[in-house]
Amino acid sequence: MITSFEDIVKTRPPWSTILVWYLRAMALLLIGGGVIHWARIVGMVPWRGLWFWDMPVEWQAATVFFAVLDLVAATGLWLAVSWGTVMWLFRAISQIVMHSVFSDVYGRRPYEIAFYLLTIGIYLLIVYLMERENRKT
C-alpha cells in the first residue's frame, strides 16, 4: 500500500518504461497535429482565417511538411524506435527555427517554442535517468 512519496518512488516503473510512455504521449500529440494539418490541406478547417488554397506558398509548404512529418514521427515514437525520436526532434527544432529565425514569415510563437524546449528537456532528463539506472544494475 502506498502511504508516502517514498513509497511512490520505490514502486515506480523503470525509467525505460516511463520513457516509452512519454514517447507515446508525444506520439498522440503529433497524431492530433498531423490530423489538423491534413484537415487544413483538404479544406475542412482554415488556419488564421485562410483556407489552404488561399495561403501564401510558404504557409502551404509548411503545412504539407508538418502534415507528413507529424504522422511519420508519431508512428516512430509510438513504436519507440530510434528514428521516431530523431524525426520528433527534427520536427520540434524545425518549429523552433520557423517561429524564431523566420518569424517574419510564420509569426512569433513564444509559447510554442517554450513547449518544444520543455518537451525536449523532459525527454533528455528521462533518458539521463534511464541511463543512470541502467549503469547501477
CB 52 within 8 A of CB 63: yes
What pTM was estimated for this model as a whole?
0.87
Helix axes 15-41, 110-136, angle to 10 degrees: 150
Closest by CA to 126, choosing from 29, 24, 34, 2, is: 24
**pLDDT for residue 136:** 82
Per DSSP, the three-state class of 42 is coil
How does residue 3 score in pLDDT terms, banded at 50, 70 and 90?
low
**pLDDT for residue 67:** 97
Q: What is the pLDDT of residues 105-118, one digit of tens each?
A: 998 999 999 999 99
Query: Which cell is 94 given?
Result: 524545425
Burial 25-35 (b: 16+ CB within 10 A, else e): ebbeebbebbe
How does residue 11 score in pLDDT terms, banded at 50, 70 and 90?
confident
User: For the chain, what percent of residues have pLDDT higher than 70?
Assistant: 93
Q: Rounded distance, CA 66 to CA 118, Å? A: 20
Ordered alpha helix ranges (H), 2-109: 5-11, 15-41, 57-79, 82-100, 103-106
Q: For residue 52, count other CB atoms closer than 10 A to its CB.
A: 19
**pLDDT for residue 21:** 97
Q: What is the pLDDT of residues 26-74, one digit of tens each?
A: 999 999 999 999 999 999 999 889 999 999 999 999 999 999 999 999 9
CB 30 within 8 A of CB 88: yes
